[in-house]
């Protein structure tokens, strides 16, 4: 028969949540040793060594508290250790999955950010090109307005000259007509 160990459940050694956790896990380990399976890890049950009938009784006793102590025998400690190792393995697996998911998310965000920055740079360059075109058009517009104003001034000058010529012909024609009489 295996030696029985006990652990004090005083708050100086174990907190209430520690005690509750040990009792729950010892009970779970005992139940699993009866069924021969480990807790679900997302890939189906894993076989663990099956303990003898005498260890079942010892494991059942391990979850009891006697005068402020938790009793644990070698077999129940081994069973609890295996059970906790499986839980730790499951937790580590999930941490690895979450780490991978976070890394993928960061990579997707980085890629999206890079695409957005590239697109923003392209749009800024497009805006610069459009602004340069607009400045050229404004310059062309000023030049056309200046030329139009000169053409308008030339037209007025030509019309004025044409008007003077018409008047001088008319005046010259009138004086010639009077002198012929």
Q: DSSP characters for 99-119?
A: HHHHHHHHHHHHHHHHHHHHH
174 located within any domain? no
Tokens encoding 44 = 């189906």
C-alpha pair distances (Å), 58 with each of 22, 24, 49, 64: 15, 15, 16, 10
Rounded mean pLDDT, 109-129: 98
pLDDT of residue 9: 60
Domain count, the chain: 1
Better pLDDT: 123 or 61: 123
pLDDT of residue 68: 58
52 located within any domain? yes
pLDDT of residue 49: 41
- Residue 55: domain span: 4-101
pLDDT of residue 62: 46
Q: Is residue 4 predicted with pLDDT exceeding 80?
A: no
Q: What is the longest distance spanned by two Cα atoms in the chain?
A: 164
144 located within any domain? no
137 located within any domain? no
């Amino acid at each position: 028969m295996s030696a029985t160990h006990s652990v004090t459940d005083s708050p100086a050694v174990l907190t209430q949540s520690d005690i509750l956790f040990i009792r729950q896990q010892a009970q779970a380990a005992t139940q699993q040793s009866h069924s021969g399976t480990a807790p679900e890890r997302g890939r189906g049950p894993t076989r663990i060594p099956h303990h003898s009938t005498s260890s079942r009784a010892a494991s059942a006793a391990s979850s009891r508290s006697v005068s402020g102590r938790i009793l644990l025998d070698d077999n129940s400690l081994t069973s609890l250790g295996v059970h906790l190792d499986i839980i730790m393995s499951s937790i580590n697996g999930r941490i690895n999955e979450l780490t991978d998911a976070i890394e993928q998310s960061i990579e997707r965000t980085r890629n999206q950010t890079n695409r957005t920055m590239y697109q923003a740079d392209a749009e800024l360059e497009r805006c610069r090109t459009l602004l340069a075109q607009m400045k050229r058009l404004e310059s062309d517009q000023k030049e056309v307005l200046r030329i139009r104003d000169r053409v308008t001034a030339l037209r007025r000058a030509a019309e004025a000259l044409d008007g003077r010529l018409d008047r001088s012909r008319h005046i010259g024609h009138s004086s010639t007509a009077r002198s012929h009489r």
